[in-house]
Structure 1
């Protein structure tokens, strides 16, 4: 790997995931000094946010994995298969967050070695692609299940879903390969630290990698998710209007929908019941869930990709001012934290808001408590039987002692 000689473009205060070193900086604009623009205390703010995201996200995704992995064959649906892989992807990344928190707290000094730098950087990029790809797959599955429930029954097969998951992992690994190859440790003389950065051999490689993240990791998945949920919402609203018109024209034959007619929760995947659309509160609940999914994805990652695009414009010479430099240096790590929070929000959106998932989680907790209680009772019974045996042995020992005393104190 070529060693860069000019570090004028290195972003000393930016996120460790976006910090870059160029070999050729001839195209780099020279930003004016901005002494009045103060920097944010990243060495304390970022580790705190990372720690909160790591704890909450690990707990939520671990519970989701336990519930989804311990389900029977009846619960191994297409949606659950995608959700399980999404939670695994989030867990793999969340386990690397403590290392990045230490990295920030020590002033961008990476103490874990070159291999850990590459692996943690690759896990971040892998999660960025894999989580978005799995969310897109889940969105397409919901579209087929709700809009085309009868025609999609053969296509929505758990075995095909597992094959799709394998393809998603392969595609995500392929998209993460450039980051794995380019990320490395580099000694920064100005800071006196061994930083974990992405070393781009040229400006073209920087543009290719960053634009690939924006297009493949955000724009195209967002377009697919939005189209799927727009079609779902239009389908549900159209069916609701038709049912209301039929109810008004035939009031005596108005169908009554019980609570079981509500649409299944996202975690368990929507199931077809003869092509009947969900009505009443079920429609409202599905639409609100749909809106929450799209908004969470958009709000979590849109700010980061906006700042990344500003960085591209600056590298091309279109933007060069104090506010641009301050935005890139200070908002990149903060917007990245917002993107990371999507890993903690995912299990809440897709599982914990569902009645079925909460019921299975409650059953799992009750089973665990019953197992612990049974073991405690068994342990107490063993202790009780041991105490009984010990007491009986003590009585026998006492009787034997009295017998010995009587025999020794008899007439001589």
Structure 2
């Protein structure tokens, strides 16, 4: 039981229950609020907190991401819900990805307010916990759903005919709900501990950027990010190899597939890789005795900057829906241009005169 309690002090406490099962003998010390307060005072007073300009830039940035992501993901959910006919596994995974994005987009105004008020959290304890909870649910939910999309793409392109029996929307929804359960359960401890602290009349939400973390958090960081990243990269490399080897898919469809791959990899490079690389350096270096005050200030700023970049995936994911969801382009065209004939014609034209493997891939891509 002691191991179970102590292990909750993992980076953001994400994927705690995975680690409980895999690393039962790992013991971690849970930081107290006094330690949090002492750490924050050292980082913000001794080394300088965020400047007014930095707070203003962060605040405006979060507002812009909020509007772009809200519009794109609400439009995607509306199109997914209005589509008629048989769905596809790709659509199922992308639907859950849009829900994950919206779960975090809705609280971005709170994060913007925090910065626009000079680092003061006026919303109270519970919203502070919820903001941190939804941050990790969105980030790791998105990462794993993108991995599922990559796996489905691989089966549709490389093993089109043989995978027809297992590539069912029902199975995709079951897998998605299982991922939701695992991610949400692993984040629940974020809602159970106090995360606000009073610093000279200013309320600080300690959950926003997790600027206090043990080196044991690196275990959680690796378990949460590396497996889905390697899986996504491997699936897409295998798809590219298959296309280059001599796939029977049409040239236009090949370009569409490569475009989807490029977008997903762009999301990883812009949104996820910088955060996890910076977070690793931050955990290893910030508390080291030889780290200068100026270096700590830069590490803290890099941690906040890369954390803000993860929010951009909510604005970029709608581009994946545009290229990756079945008939999404046709539905969007009908919505914007009121041209039902043109939209349905483009969709049906993609499905004519193809080989069995090409037919399966087209129905999903």
Shorter-chain TM-score bucket reads: 0.7 to 0.9
2:223 is the counterpart of 1:216: yes
Partners of 2:62 and 2:42 in 1: CA distance: 19
* Equivalences for residues 279-318 of structure 1 within 5 A: 279-315=250-286, 317=288
Structure 1 position 206 matched with structure 2 position 214: yes
Secondary structure in structure 2 of the residue aligned to 1:195: strand
CA RMSD of aligned residues (A): 3.0
Aligned equivalents of 1:164, 1:353: Cα separation in 2: 19
Partner of residue 301, structure 2: 330
Q: How many angstroms apart in 1 are the aligned matches of 2:277 and 2:294?
A: 14
| Aligned partner of residue 144 in structure 2, secondary structure | helix
2:198 corresponds in structure 1 to 187
Structure 1 contact 90–127 (Cα < 8 Å) conserved = yes
Decide which of 13, 18, 34 is 1:4's aligned counterpart. Answer: 34
| Structure 2 SS opposite 1:9 | helix
- 1:53–1:140 distance in 2 versus 1, CA, 3 Å: same
- Secondary structure of 2:203's aligned partner: strand
User: How far is the alpha carbon of 1:285 from its aligned partner?
Assistant: 3.4
**Alignment equivalent of 2:205, drawn from 176, 183, 196:** 196
Which position in structure 1 is the counterpart of 2:83?
Answer: 71
**How many angstroms apart in 1 are the aligned matches of 2:56 and 2:215?**
31
Counterpart check, 1:230 vs 2:242 = no
Q: What's the CA shift for 1:217?
A: 3.5
Which residue of 87, 92, 104 maps to 1:81?
Answer: 92
Alignment of 1:5-404 (within 5 A): 7-10=37-40, 39=51, 41-74=53-86, 76-182=87-193, 184-189=195-200, 192-198=201-207, 206-209=214-217, 211-212=219-220, 214-240=221-247, 277-315=248-286, 317=288, 320-351=291-322, 356-365=327-336
368 and 279 in structure 1: CA distance in 2 versus 1, 3 angstrom threshold: closer
CA distance in 2: counterparts of 1:147 and 1:234, whole angstroms = 10
Q: Distance in 1 between matches of 2:162 and 2:178?
A: 24
Question: How far, CA to CA, are the matches of 1:304 and 1:122 in structure 2?
Answer: 17
> 1:187·1:194 contact (CA, 8 Å) conserved in 2?
yes
After the TM superposition, which segments of 4 or more aligned residues of structure 1 sit over 3 Å from their partners? 5-8, 11-14, 37-40, 205-211, 352-356, 364-369
Change in 2 beyond 3 A, CA 1:348/1:5: closer
Q: C-alpha separation between the residues in 2 aligned to 1:13 and 1:224?
A: 37
Structure 2 distance, partners of 1:216, 1:11, is 31
Q: Which runs of 5+ in 1 are unaligned?
A: 15-30, 241-276, 370-412
CA distance in 2, matches of 1:5, 1:164: 40
1:178 deviates by: 3.3
State the distance in 2 between where 1:349 and 1:12 align.
42
Q: Give the distance between the partners of 2:190 and 2:310, measured in 1 at CA.
A: 18
What are the ranges of 5 or more consecutive residues in structure 2 without an aligned counterpart? 1-30, 341-365
Q: C-alpha separation between the residues in 1 aligned to 2:89 and 2:325?
A: 16
Structure 2 counterpart of 1:378? none
Q: What does the per-residue CA deviation read over 1:9-61, in whole Å, with 9 as the maximum and x for residues that have no partner?
A: 227878xxxxxxxxxxxxxxxx9x768x9957222011100000000000000
User: Which segment is superposed worse, 335-344 or 298-307?
Assistant: 298-307
Aligned-pair distance for 1:321?
A: 2.8
Over 3 Å counting, the alpha-carbon distance change for 1:180 and 1:299 in structure 2 is same
CA distance in 1, matches of 2:73, 2:290: 40
Partners of 1:318 and 1:232 in 2: how far apart?
Answer: 47
Secondary structure of the structure 1 residue equivalent to 2:118: coil
Q: Is the 8 A contact 2:147 2:231 kept in 1?
A: yes
TM-score normalised by the chain length of structure 2: 0.75
SS of the equivalent of 2:195 reads: strand
The superposition leaves residues 187-220 of structure 1 with CA deviations (integer Å, 9 ceiling, x where unpaired) of 113xx21111149xxx8x73444541x2233222
Return the offset for 1:310. 1.5
Q: Secondary structure at the match of 1:10?
A: helix
Q: 1:362 to 1:287 in 2, by over 3 A?
A: closer
Conservation of the 8 A alpha-carbon contact between 1:118 and 1:180:
yes
CA contact (8 A) 1:139 1:225 kept: yes
